[in-house]
A and B are shown apart, each in its own frame.
Chain A
Amino acid sequence: MIDWRRLGRGLVLPILFLALWELLRAAGVLPYETLSQPSLIARATLSALADGTLLYATWQTLEAATLGWAIAGAVAVLAGVLLGLFPPLARMTSLSVEALRPIPSVALIPLSLLVFGFGLRMEVAVVVFAVFWPVLIVTSSGVRGIEPNLLEVGRALKLSVARRIWKLVLPAALPSIAVGLRLGAGIAIVVAVTVEIATNPWGLGYGMINASQSLRADLMFAQLLWIGVVGWGLNVALLRIERRWLAWFWSAREAAR
């Protein structure tokens, strides 16, 4: 059931804004060539889509983000499980983690540039750093929150540590891990675009900064709009996946019970 009144109200501001922008530009009130207008931006969007440049840049950004997310996610989940299961280990590493975690990922951009030069690898490296910490923390706290009885069962059944982790710990911590990975995916995209804007001639971020430095305002706004669309779409898709996966997971557990 669509609430037309609320939908209408929600659209008022964007439509008003776009209309005003278009009018003021057309009337010459906003003289700067740097501002462009909605109609031109729409045109630039369509042409960039048509000639494949937008999609190629999207692919580049997503490639870096996904690789970084996957690597960081795998290592962080494993480390998080270990830290969650063995509190002594967590306590011992706590100072080091707390010292390294606050380093803003952007501070590593020049370092990554130094080591890897421009391109995919330097971006992946920064994304890995950025995604690692939140996933580590969410996973370890998720594992720590597991029912102690469950772990007792594992010990009673004399399962090896590896089997205990695989059969008992991971399934129980799965909801937390899923949330952590979803958050990590969001971070991966944002960091990837940021690295591209800062220095890396790669992907959507570079497209934006390049367009702005070439005074192609229409192209720049087109890419900004596109990033918003991609980000939103990705978020929706990830939520769907997480929900469906967790639903399957819970029903499988119920069936097993």
Chain B
Amino acid sequence: MNARRLWWSASSVLFALALIGLWQALADARIVSPAYFPSPARTFAVLSDQMQTGTLWSALGETCWRMLAGWFTASLLGVGLGAVIGLSPTARDFFEPTLEFMRPLPASAILPAAVLLLGLTSQMIIAVIAFGAIWPVLLNTIHGFRAVEPRLVEVARMLHLSRVERSVKIALPSALPDILAGVRVSLAISLILAVVAEMLSSQPGLGHNILVAARAFRSADLYAGVIVLGVLGYLTNAALERAETYWLRWRPAPSGE
């Protein structure tokens, strides 16, 4: 069984390498101008150069910091507010219609308003990201807290748990799957908002770098930046997924899968 898995991992690595090989071949054949389509060799050269001179790390640091700070704030506020609203049927009546109206709005739509009202300085970008990324967490948290298994609520009554105990020991763990799902979406939104905000504001960072590279026709820098953003997206998501798998390890395996 293990040999089989190894074989399949190997084949998928080989396939990916084959794709890169194809990329190199197409670039060498100059079917498309290298101004649009740099070879993998050139792209990775630029990438390693950026890593050595430190330009990569500083840009990555800027984008990462804004993304994470905004996401963390959004998650904290979202869970806190969501818990309070979700636990109270009265609060839900007041807030849910407004919140549901906000749901279909693209998060990036907050940026023009932010440009107008706040200006996009580095600190403001974090606030903007937080405001844009809070909605999935907030909505999911509310849903998680309102959908607690009624039998468990009865158990809590029978055990004479205080309101606080009920919220922390029963409602919160019960809502955790929903909360984590919301937090994951929120992270993706934070990355998107960080990148677009940099493009709009010319604040230093990965988003700004790739826009500048595009305008200067430096395609290898552009592709390198895209790869870095892809890696950033992958790592942050994978980290969250790991955490989620651990915290939710009590879940029964889905049937039929």
Contact = CB atoms under 8 A, between A and B. Distances in A.
Interface of A: 5-6, 9-14, 32, 34-35, 91-96, 98-100, 102-111, 113-115, 145, 186, 189-190, 193-194, 197-199, 205, 208-209, 211-213, 215, 217, 220-221, 224, 227-228, 231-232, 234-235
A13 B199 contact: no
Contact of A99 (B9, B113, B229, B234): B234
Interface string B160-188: 00000000000000000000000000001
A141 B162 CA distance: 44
A220 B152 CA distance: 48
A10 B93 contact: yes
Contacts of A107: 195, 206-207, 210, 225-226, 229-230
Interface residues on chain B, size class: 35 or more
Contacts of A205: 108-109
Interface in B214-238: 214-215, 217, 219, 222-223, 225-226, 229-231, 233-234, 237
B106 A102 contact: no
A93 B108 contact: no
A194 B94 contact: no
Contact of A102 (B94, B222, B230): B230
A109 to B, nearest CB: 7
B97 A199 contact: no
A119 B36 CA distance: 17
Nearest to A108: B226
A212 B214 contact: no
B213 interface: yes
B200 A95 contact: no
A100 B231 CA distance: 9
B105 interface: yes
A212 to B, nearest CB: 4
A189 B109 CA distance: 12
B230 A103 contact: yes
B213 A212 contact: no
Which of B90, B97, B109, B206 has the most chain A CB atoms inside 10 A of its CB? Answer: B109
Interface string B186-215: 001001100110011000001100110111
B230 A10 contact: no
A245 B126 CA distance: 43
Contacts of B8: 91-92
A105 B229 CA distance: 10
A192 B192 CA distance: 13
A231 B106 contact: yes
27 contacts: A6-B93, A9-B93, A35-B117, A95-B15, A100-B230, A102-B233, A104-B191, A106-B199, A107-B207, A107-B226, A110-B214, A110-B215, A111-B214, A111-B226, A114-B222, A193-B109, A194-B108, A197-B108, A198-B108, A198-B196, A198-B200, A199-B199, A205-B109, A213-B115, A220-B112, A228-B105, A232-B104
B216 to A, nearest CB: 10
Given A198-B196, A228-B105, A93 B223 contact: no
Interface in B90-118: 90, 93-98, 101-102, 104-109, 111-113, 115-117
B246 to A, nearest CB: 20
Interface in B103-143: 104-109, 111-113, 115-117
Contacts of B48: none
Contacts of B200: 197-198, 209
A16 to B, nearest CB: 10
B222 A104 contact: no
Nearest to B13: A95
B245 interface: no
Contacts of A215: 116
B98 A102 contact: no
Nearest to A191: B106
Given A108-B226, A224-B112, 8 more contacts: A95-B9, A96-B15, A106-B196, A107-B195, A114-B222, A186-B104, A220-B116, A231-B104
A95 B19 CA distance: 11
